[in-house]
Amino acid sequence: MDILEFLCVMVAIIVTGGIVFAWIKRIDALKLQELAGKQKLSDIRQKSAMERYKAEKEEPEVGPWVSDVIGSLGFDPMVLFEEEMPAQLKAFLPMIKGFVDSGGLKKLLGQAGPAAPGEEERSAI
C-alpha cells in the first residue's frame, strides 16, 4: 500500500502543478494581450499626434508679399506648400538671391517710406 499511496500523492502533486502552471500561463497571455492592445492604442495616438504636428508645421511663416510675387510671376501661390519646386520657378532663384545679396531688398524697403511733408510724391519715389 505504501507504493500505491506514494503514486496517488505524486499524481495529485503533478496534476496540481500542471493546473497551476496552465493557470499562470493563461494569466500571462491575458496580460500580454492587454499590453498589446494598449501599445496599439498608443501607436495610433502617437501617429495622430505626429500628423497634427506635421499639419501645423507645414504652413510656413512667409509674408503675404511672397504669395503676391509668385502670383505676379504667373504661378499659383500654393506652389510654396508643395514638396518639389517647379523647374520654371527654380530658374528664378539665382536672380532673387542676387537681388537680395546685392542689397536690392534693403534699398526697396528703405525708400518705400512715406514722402516727407515738403517733398513731391514723384521725388520721394
Say yes or no: 52 and 7 in one domain: yes
Of 43, 100, 37, 111, nearest in space to 66 by CA: 100
Helix (H) or strand (E) holding 15: helix 2-57
Lowest-pLDDT range of 22-31, 46-55, 63-72, 112-121? 112-121
Residues 2 and 53 in one domain: yes
Range of the domain at 99: 64-112
- Does some domain include residue 45? yes
> Integer distance in angstroms from the first to the last C-alpha of the chain?
121
Residues 42 and 89 occupy one common structural domain: no
Contacts of 121 (CB under 8 A, 6+ apart): 115
pLDDT, greater one: 68 or 116: 68
Q: How many domains does the chain have?
A: 2
Candidate from 52-66, 67-81, 108-122 with smallest mean pLDDT: 108-122
Instruction: Assess whether 45 and 3 both reside in one domain.
Output: yes
C-alpha distances out from residue 71 to 44, 50, 75, Å: 39, 32, 5
- Beta strand segments in the chain, E: none
Amino acid at residue number 110: G
* The residue type at 91: A
Q: Which pLDDT band holds residue 124 (cuts at 50, 70, 90)?
A: very low
Residue 119 inside a domain? The answer is no
Residue 97: band (very low, low, confident or very high) from pLDDT cuts 50, 70, 90:
confident
- In this structure, the answer to whether residues 53 and 1 fall within a common structural domain is yes
Looking at the structure, tell me whether residues 39 and 10 fall in a common domain. yes
Angle, to 10 degrees, between the axis of helix 104-111 and the axis of helix 87-101?
70
Tell me what percent of the residues of the chain surpass a pLDDT of 90: 36
